[in-house]
Amino acid sequence: MSYENVEKGLIVKVAGPLVVAKNMKNTHLYDMVKVGKLGLIGEIIEIHGDKASIQVYENTSGVGPNEEVVCLNSPLSIELGPGLIGNIFDGIGRPLLKLKEKSGDRLQRGIDVNSLDHEKKYDFKPLVKVKDKLKKGAIVGFVDETKSICHKIMLPPNIEGEVLEIKEGSFSVEETIGVLKLEDGSTFNIKLMQKYPVRKQRPILKKLAPNVPLITGQRVIDSLFPIAKGGVAAVPGPFGSGKTIVQHQVAKWADADVIVYIGCGERGNEMTDVLNEFPSIKDPKTNNTLMDKTVLIANTSDMPVAAREASIYTGITIAEYYKDMGFDVALIADSTSRWAEALREMSGRLQEMPGEDGYPAYLGSRLAEFYERAGRVITLNNEETSLTIIGAVSPPGGDISEPVSQATLRIVKVFWGLDSTLAYKRHFPAINWLKSYSLYWGNLKEWFEENISENWGNLRQEIIDILQEEANLEEIVKLVGLSALTEIDKLKLEVAKCIREDFLHQNAFHDVDTFSSLKKQFYMLSIIDSFYKKAKEAVLNFKIKVKDISNITVKEEIGRFKYVENTKVEKTYEEILKKIDSEIKNLYKGV
C-alpha cells in the first residue's frame, strides 16, 4: 500500500504498547495509524498539541525514535459483509486463517489482511428495483452466506437515496452491485461490503423491553434464572468454577440465529477446542452445523494487550450488523475482566490518575456503554430483533467485591454466580441457586405460562422455596443434628437433594443431558413436584418415615430421567408418575 500523500509523524517515545509521535497535528482522536518500519497497527488515544499518544495493537519490540508514523485518517473499522460467519478473527478483525497463510504457525507483526475475502464471489439477488427510494440501512438484496444464514445486503446506516441501477449475479465484496442517487445529487456505489467503525453503536429505530426468553437448554438457567432475548447477563466465578463451560454451552445450544463468541484474553487451547468442536455439532434449530451461524473473535492471553481492548468492540459491531439484518444474535464474551485489565494497563502507561484497584475512573462507563449495545430493538428496517450479551467476569480470588464485578452487576439484569464449593463437589453447572438472580422473570413469566405450561410459574417458585428452606434447615442440622428435624423437614431435605442432583446438575459432556428442551425440563419439575406432594401426603396422613420413602425404587429412575432420549421422554414421564403413585401407596397399604 502507498501512503505517499499522507502526512507523516515521527516517533519520539516507545514504552511497551504505548508510542508517542510528534508532527501529528492533523490527526483525529481514535484515528488508525501505521507505526514504524514494520507498519504496526495502532490507534490514537490522546492528542497533546502536535504530539499524539498511540496504542499499538502489536508488539513494539524493535521500534525506536525517528521512525515514521502514518495516519490513515479513519477510526478502527471492520469490514462487514458476507464471509464473516464461520470465520475466526483476531481482536482487530484480521482473519486468523489468512494470517496463518501469510506468516505460518506463529503470528508475525505488521501484516495487512482484509477481514473479508475480496476474491470470493457471492450470488447476489436484488430485492429492490430501479427508482425505488431507499431509507438508511435498507435491505437491497441478499446472498446465501452459509446453509443457515441468508445474508441481507443493507445500505450503510448513514446512506439513503434513489436506486439508479441494481445488478444481479456473481460478485466479490468489492464490486459494485448497484448505484444510488443521494439527496445532494451525488451517487453512491452499493457493494456487498460496508466498513463501520467498531467503537460506534450502529443506529436503530427504537428499543423495546425484552419479553421472550433465550432458550439455552441448560436447566438451571432456563428454569430458574432465564435470560431474555436482548438481555444482558454476567457470569462471575473464580477459576475452575466452570465459567468457560457455561459460556460454551450457551453458545452451543442457545436458540439464537447468530452467535458471536469473543475469547478475550483467554487460553489458546480453548479457542482451538471451539474451532474443532463447533463444526461437528448440529444446531438443534436448523440441523446445520454450529459453525454455520458462528463468528469467533480470538484474542488469546498472549496476544498484544491493546488488541484485547479492541476485541470486544470488534465482536459487538459484527453482532449488531447481523442483528440489523433481522437475526436474533447472542454475543458471548469470555472474559470482560481481561478486557478491563487491558484498559488498566493502557491507562497506567498513560499515567492517568487511577480509580479503584488501579482501574481507570472510566471503567464503569465503558462497561455500561458496551452492555447497552444489547437489547430487543426495532431496526432501521422496522424489524423486531435482539442482541443478547452474556459476559464472563473473572474476579481475582472469586471475590466479587472488586471493581469489574461491581461495575458489571450495576448494569446486568441476570446474574449467574458460579461457586467454587459446588465445583469441588463436581456439581456442574456450578451456578449457585441461592445467590443468582434473573430480573427478567417478571417479563418472561407470561411467555412460559403460555408456551410451556400454565403451571410453570408455580413449579418454579416451589423449587426455589424448597432450595431456600434446605439452606435454612442445613444450618439447623449443623447445630443439632438430623434427628432433631420433623419428618416433613426431612422430606424437604430429601426433595431438595433430588432437585439438586436430578434436576440442577447437568452433564455438559453427556450426549443427551447436554441439552434439555423446555418440555423435558417441565416434565422433570413435574415429576419432582409429584413425588413431593405424594410423599408429603404419606408422611402427614399415614405417618410414613422419610427413610422408607427415600428407598423406593422409582427414585433411581427419577435420577436417570435426565439421560432419557427425547423420543422416549413423554412415555417415561408417564411411567414414572404412575410408579411414584403406586410405590408410595404401597408403603401405607398396611397402615
Range 524-583, binding other proteins (CB under 8 A): 547, 555-556, 559-560
Partnered with residue 51 across adjacent β-strands are: 48
Q: Is 218 exposed, middle or buried (0-12, 13-18, 19+ CB in 10 A)?
A: buried
How would you class 200 by CB atoms within 10 Å of its CB: exposed for 0-12, middle for 13-18, buried for 19 or more?
middle
> Could you tell me the three cell numbers for 417?
454466580
Write the CB contacts of 277 (distance below 8 Å, at least 6 apart in sequence): none
Residues 305-364 that bind other proteins (CB under 8 A): 305, 338, 341, 344-345, 348, 354, 357-358
Nearer to other proteins, 282 or 547 (CB): 547
Computed over its alpha carbons, how large is the radius of gyration of the chain? Answer: 28
For other proteins, the closer of residues 196 and 261 by Cβ is 261
| Pick 194 or 244: Cβ nearer other proteins | 244
- Subset of residues 417 to 476 that bind other proteins, contact rule: CB under 8 A: 420, 423-427
Q: What is the DSSP string of 341-395?
A: HHHHHHHHHTTPPB-GGG-BTTHHHHHHHHHTT-EEEE-TTS-EEEEEEEEEE--
AA letter at 87: N
Query: In a 10 Å sphere around its CB, with 0-12 CB exposed, 13-18 middle and 19+ buried, how is residue 42 labelled?
Result: buried
Q: How far is the CB of 228 from other proteins (least distance, A)?
A: 30
Shortest distance in whole angstroms from residue 424 CB to other proteins: 4
- Figure out which of the listed residues 105, 119, 454, 511 binds other proteins, where binding follows CB under 8 A: 105
Q: Minimal distance in Å, beta carbon 301 to other proteins?
A: 3
Per CB under 8 A, the list member of 49, 104, 442, 590 interacting with other proteins is: 104
Q: Give whichever of 25 and 37 is closer to other proteins, judged by the CB atom.
A: 37
Burial class (CB in 10 A: 0-12, 13-18, 19+), 46: middle
Distance in angstroms (rounded) separating the CA atoms of residues 526 and 556:
16
Return d(Cα 582, Cα 428) in angstroms, integer. 32
Q: Looking at 2, 5, 186, 276, which residue binds other proteins (CB under 8 A)? A: 276
> Locate cell 436474533: which residue?
328
Residue nearer to other proteins on the CB measure, 132 or 270 = 270
Out of 81, 86, 364, 398, name the contact with other proteins by CB under 8 A.
398
Build a one-symbol-per-residue string for 486-525: x at contacts with other proteins by CB under 8 A, - elsewhere: ---------------xx----x-x----------------
* b/e map 49-59, b = 16+ CB within 10 Å: eebbbbbbbbb
Q: Minimal distance in Å, beta carbon 313 to other proteins?
A: 19
Q: State which of positions 120-179 bind other proteins (CB under 8 A).
A: none
Q: Which is nearer to other proteins, 203 or 240 (CB)?
A: 240
Mapping DSSP to helix (H, G, I), strand (E, B) and coil, where does residue 514 land? coil
**CA-wise closest residue to 394 among 233, 266, 538:** 266
Considering only 99-107, 313-321, 520-528, 569-577, which stretch makes contact with other proteins by CB under 8 A?
Answer: 99-107
Contacts of 90 (CB under 8 A, 6+ apart): 96, 99, 107, 297, 298, 299, 303, 307, 311
H or E segment to which residue 105 belongs: none
Find the binder of other proteins among 2, 5, 49, 61 (CB under 8 A): 61
How far, in Å, CA of 140 to CA of 128, rounded? 6
Interface mask toward other proteins for 191-230; x: CB under 8 A: ----------------------------------------
Residue among 99 and 463 whose Cβ is closer to other proteins: 99
Q: Are 535 and 549 in contact (CB under 8 A)?
A: yes
Identity of the residue, 206 or 510, whose beta carbon is nearer to other proteins in the bound complex: 510
301 counts as binding other proteins under rule CB under 8 A: yes
Site for other proteins in 471-490 (CB under 8 A): 477-478, 480-483
Toward other proteins, which CB reaches closer, 168 or 548?
548
Answer for which of 169, 203, 240, 279 binds other proteins (CB under 8 A) is: 240
Burial category of 511 from C-beta neighbours within 10 Å (exposed 0-12, middle 13-18, buried 19 and up): exposed
Task: Please state, in angstroms and rounded to a whole number, the distance separating the CA atoms of residues 37 and 14.
Answer: 14
Count of residues that bind other proteins according to CB under 8 A: 77
State in angstroms the smallest separation of the CB of 65 from other proteins.
Answer: 6
Instruction: Give least dist CB 423 to other proteins, A.
Output: 8
- Shortest separation between residue 311's beta carbon and other proteins, angstroms: 13
Among 239, 447, 542, 588, interactor with other proteins by CB under 8 A:
239
Dihedrals φ, ψ of 159, to 5°?
-120, 135
What are the CA-CA distances from residue 56 to residues 99, 241, 296 (Å)? Answer: 18, 34, 22
Residues 364-383 that bind other proteins (CB under 8 A): none
